Amino acid sequence: MSQPIWIDIGPLDQLPTLGGRTLPVLGGQEIAVFRTSTGSVHALANRCPHKHGPLSEGIVHDTSVTCPLHAWRISLVTGEALGEDKGCVPVIPVKIDAGRIYLDRAAALVGAV
Amino acid sequence: MNAPILDTLESDRRDSPVTERLVVIGNGMAGCRAVEEILARDPLRYAVTIFGAEPRVNYNRIMLSPVLAGDKSYEEIIINDQSWYDDNNIELVSGDAIIAIKREAREVVSASGRVTPYDRLLIATGSDPFIIPVPGHDLPGVITFRDLDDVDKMLAAAENGGSAVVIGGGLLGLEAAHGLSLRGMKVTVLHLMPTLMERQLDEAAGFLLKSELESRGQTILTQADTAEILGESHVTGVRLKDGTDIAADLVVMAVGIKPSVQLAKIAGLAVERGIVVDDHMVTDDPAIMAVGECVQHRGFCYGLVAPLWDMCRALADHLTENPTGYEGSVTATKLKVSGIDLFSAGDFSGGEDAEDIVMRDASRGIYKRVVVKAGRLVGAVLYGDTVDGNWYFDLLKRGEDVSEIREALIFGQAFASGGVSLDPDSAVAALSDDAEICGCNGVSKGQVATCIGGGADTLDAVRASCKASASCGSCTNLVESLLSIALGEDYGGARTITPMCKCTSFTHEDVRRNILEKALQSIPEVMQELHWTTPDGCASCRPALNYYLLCAWPEDHQEDPQSRFVNERMHANIQKDGTYSVVPRMWGGVTNPMELRAIADAAEKYGARLLKVTGGQRLDIFGIKKEDLPAIWADLNAAGMVSGHAYGKALRTVKTCVGSEWCRFGTQDSTGLGIKAEQMTWGSWMPHKFKIAVSGCPRNCAEASIKDLGIICVDSGYEISVGGNGGIHLRGTDFLCKVETEDVALEYIAAFIQLYREEARYLDRTAPWVERVGMEYIKDRIVEDGEGRRALQARFLHAQSLLQKDPWADRAAGAEANLHRHIAEIRPLALQKAQ
């Protein structure tokens, strides 16, 4: 398997603890980037599997985010809906290096190129 | 080896052509440890020369903090004194740094020009402190915390007293701050992140640490971003990006370290973040090895001491032809600040298949969290009681299956290894009768058992009769175990009370009472004191706690945007397509041509797709992008309009009819009273949305009888009624009282709202709340008790004097700008070219 190509999307300190930020992808699907209270960073397609709510604006707790539209709870790790709900959003691999956030280019650009 | 050979070692070594020359760059912990390991395996194999930049023998760098704090002297932290070098025939060249590696000639060159040949070279240059490149970073008085010279500088500065600023709230920064504080300096710690030591601690433990350090007299500023270091010829202070100035005679930069790779890079070795090594610590030049903080192994760089030992073992095995390999390290952290017990190890970032086990004991200041994944312990954070740290670390490193002891894991080794049954009930059954169950009220197991025997067959009954579990609640599980042991199947375990959410066993009322009684000021503090079972709550309790704190402490409330629902965080209403709608306030539903023009202009300028009159007599501008919100607010502010809070658990609108000024039936100036009520009340946060209406006569054109508070004007005064709702469950208001003047009406409005704010549960509208507590109670508090009513009114007005601000104006001026911006945008190359 070839090595992933990483895209630098900015410094970690631009991402608030227990918060999310948006990352539009020209021609592709907007991405939501989250940071948990333990400092881990996760990226998902910014589109709830239920009615396409912007997950980036939800409340982050532990390793999940609650969608702002209808309170579906989505795992930041697997992208799967938790509890009774069923559905899944794509997860984009993230790495942190020297205080900056990197996303896996191929996964981030799905649909764009 | 035979002893006599050792006697001739020196001459043999230096002269014998078969002895290989090993040159070590770096006289620190890694370099010397590597040599020790090699000597232990084969003392004759290499002729060793060690170069050190510092003019000293090898000392224990991790003990610099105790030296600074005065707990240890320099002599006590020396690992190897001169006699070690002499006894082992090691040539030590200290105070002369290596400046070049000539790989083709296999030589190193030192600053003084000395050229030394090598057969094998070991790079152990360690790491360099990060210097934030802000203006003034090179002023005298700005130092790092890396070696003994830095400690000497700090000690010299501390002799004159004064103030110190430590930039960086990680391990190193906090240890520096502790030392300087003990040496008599007034210390301020600046930390960029919201939580201290965020790489090692979760939010809850970080919060406890911060409180403890503050109680020791340090000032801890989190989310503090340094803009510049002030001073002309010597540092005088630090300025933050928010404009705050902090005076300082000494600034210690302890924001982190980076592998020291310059030498290796110039020599052309493979260097990424650190010097890249394989599992045997060999670089891409087989003659050159590297160990310690300067290396990058399997993608990781380590900044702690424990991995050194494993690296040096692997290196020595390799250099003595017995290769074993290094597989990376799991690290654990302890803070070396006396009196603070803190331990963290492994991965505690949770995750879907990870299970958190949290134990909090507020009375003893203890927080423990262990993370179990697939039956194995993967992480632990301990604060206040770290005796089991090593046990957890051992379980973690060994990766043993802990599912058998899962229930007892959090109680520690002594308990979990008890052997008998690990059912928590039997563990409690095994306690002696005089074992303390409730620390807050000093109730023993025997007393609880007596109380249950006396007929207390529910948790509430036990709480009521012997007070066990009635205060902080941390022993609730123990009391329930006792109930279940004593009553067997007769104890249903069913609580008669409904907890606030699944994160706690406390009810809304319990939580609010505790916030006041214990003067709890922040969400992490509430979670710690009230033993939340999740690390940072959930989407249900966090907004509630944020509100309860705001209501309890209007003076000191620190807003937590991440605990607000999106609408309150963005000060606009999110729509199904992710855009927002914007509703400016129209006092009492009254507007004017200037406001209408501004709204029309804004709707066009920002591409609103719909402009709609709301049910609350205002205009709603739909389809605004989050990026445009601050700009549209600035435009609306310029026309004199403020936030309508159509998005908030707050006063929404005061609906009015035109009243006696225009209407032939009007009895009073209902529009005027509505505007006064709205001006008094706007901007106040409440348990849920709150609507008011004022009708000028009993025809009730403003529909006051389905509002949270409705006023119907009559010739002789104002009839006030409350608890109406036009939503899912239609409910007409209940009559509260009739008053004679506008001023008295306003007093009642303020008092009723404050009672609702203080006593209703978060997300209770007034209708269910009034039904639950009953109109008699409301009348007692608002109508019968004049003094109480005026006190409620005073508390409401006081809170308003502090919190009645237009949030739009703040955002338009640039506050929380990141909430309205993307973190970045990706424009794929292929697409960009095509366009």
Q: What is the pLDDT of residue B369?
A: 87
CA distance B605 to chain A (A): 23
The mean pLDDT value for B387-397 works out to 79
Q: Tens digit of pLDDT for each residue in B761-785?
A: 999 999 999 998 899 999 999 999 9
A112 pLDDT higher than 70: yes
Residues B530, B514: contact at Cβ < 8 Å? yes
Quick check: B536 and A109 CB within 8 A? no
Quick check: B826 and A9 CB within 8 A? yes
Q: Find the CB nearest B192 among A13, A52, A60.
A: A13
Q: Which of residues 513-552 of B touch A (CB under 8 A)?
A: 534-539, 542-543
Indicate the DSSP class of residue B249.
Answer: S
- CA A94 vs CA A102, B351, B446, B529: distances in Å: 6, 14, 54, 35
Mutation for A interface: B127, B196, B241, B352, most A CBs within 10 A: B352
Contacts of A61 in chain B (CB under 8 A): 534, 536-539, 542
Share of chain B above pLDDT 90, in %: 53
Quick check: A98 and B273 CB within 8 A? yes
Question: Distance between CA atoms of B566 and B87, rounded to whole angstroms?
Answer: 69
Question: Distance between CA atoms of B57 and B87, rounded to whole angstroms?
Answer: 14
CA distance A35 to chain B (A): 10
For B351, nearest residue in chain A (alpha carbons): A63
Q: Is B377 exposed, middle or buried (0-12, 13-18, 19+ CB in 10 A)?
A: buried
Quick check: B825 and A51 CB within 8 A? no
B44 contact A CB<8A: no
Of B96-105, B300-309, B667-676, the range with the lowest mean pLDDT is B300-309
Quick check: B542 and A15 CB within 8 A? no
Number of Cα atoms under 13 Å in the Cβ half of residue B810: 12
- Which two tokens mark B119? 């057969």
B328 pLDDT higher than 60: yes
Contacts of A17 in chain B (CB under 8 A): 193-195, 198, 203, 562
Q: What is the pLDDT of residue B431?
A: 67
Q: Tens digit of pLDDT for each residue in B785-815?
A: 999 999 999 999 999 999 999 999 999 999 9
The mean pLDDT value for B419-439 works out to 62
Q: What is the pLDDT of residue B16?
A: 45
Contacts of B202 in chain A (CB under 8 A): 37-38
Give B376's strand partners.
B373, B401
CA distance B255 to chain A (A): 12
CA distance A93 to chain B (A): 14
Q: What is the pLDDT of residue B60?
A: 81
Q: What is the pLDDT of residue B542?
A: 95
Q: Find the CB nearest A61 among B192, B273, B542.
A: B542
The pLDDT confidence band at residue B364, using thresholds 50, 70 and 90, is: confident
The mean pLDDT value for B715-725 works out to 96
**b/e per residue, B578-596, with b = 16+ CB within 10 A?**
bbbbbbbbbbbbebeeebe
Q: Find the CB nearest B566 among A10, A68, A75.
A: A68
Quick check: B827 and A26 CB within 8 A? yes
Contacts of B565 in chain A (CB under 8 A): 59, 68
Size of interface A-B (CB pairs under 8 A): 144
* CA-based end-to-end distance of chain B: 77
**Matching residue, tokens 């965020």:** B198
B420 contact A CB<8A: no
- Which two tokens mark B105? 């000639």
Q: Tens digit of pLDDT for each residue in B74-100?
A: 888 888 888 899 999 999 998 899 999
Q: What is the pLDDT of residue B440?
A: 61
- CA B158 vs CA B141, B161, B185, B237: distances in Å: 11, 5, 6, 16
B127 contact A CB<8A: no
Q: Tens digit of pLDDT for each residue in B296-314?
A: 999 888 887 778 888 998 9
Q: What is the pLDDT of residue B443?
A: 77
Those residues with Cβ within 8 angstroms of residue B18's Cβ, 6 or more apart along the chain or in another chain: none
Question: Distance between CA atoms of B324 and B279, rounded to whole angstroms?
Answer: 8
Question: Distance between CA atoms of B41 and B313, rounded to whole angstroms?
Answer: 10
Mutation for A interface: B523, B538, B822, most A CBs within 10 A: B822
Pick the most confident of B447-461, B477-491, B549-563.
B549-563
Q: Which of residues 729-768 of B touch A (CB under 8 A)?
A: none
Contacts of A10 in chain B (CB under 8 A): 823-824
Q: Find the CB nearest B823 among A15, A60, A113.
A: A15
Contacts of B199 in chain A (CB under 8 A): 39
Question: Distance between CA atoms of B78 and B94, rounded to whole angstroms?
Answer: 15
Mutation for B interface: A17, A41, A61, most B CBs within 10 A: A61
Q: Which of residues 771-830 of B touch A (CB under 8 A)?
A: 818, 821-828, 830
Mutation for B interface: A37, A63, A77, A113, most B CBs within 10 A: A37
Q: Tens digit of pLDDT for each residue in B220-260?
A: 999 899 999 999 999 999 999 988 999 999 999 998 888 99
B566 contact A CB<8A: yes
The mean pLDDT value for A7-12 works out to 92
Mean pLDDT for all residues in chain B: 87
Residues A18, A36: contact at Cβ < 8 Å? yes
Quick check: A63 and B826 CB within 8 A? no
Q: Tens digit of pLDDT for each residue in B255-269?
A: 888 899 999 999 999
**Matching residue, tokens 């801890």:** B220
Containing H/E element for B640? Answer: none
For B534, nearest residue in chain A (alpha carbons): A62
Q: Is B75 exposed, middle or buried (0-12, 13-18, 19+ CB in 10 A)?
A: exposed
Q: Is B241 exposed, middle or buried (0-12, 13-18, 19+ CB in 10 A)?
A: exposed
Q: What is the pLDDT of residue B302?
A: 86
ipTM of predicted complex:
0.91
Residues A14, B824: contact at Cβ < 8 Å? no
Q: Find the CB nearest B542 among A24, A31, A59.
A: A59
Q: What is the pLDDT of residue B14?
A: 42
- CA B476 vs CA A83, B197, B443, B448, B466: distances in Å: 27, 31, 12, 12, 13
Quick check: A26 and B203 CB within 8 A? no
Q: Where are the beta strands (DSSP E) in B316-403?
A: 332-334, 342-346, 354-361, 366-373, 376-383
B195 contact A CB<8A: yes
B576 contact A CB<8A: yes
Quick check: A28 and B563 CB within 8 A? no
Quick check: B826 and A69 CB within 8 A? no
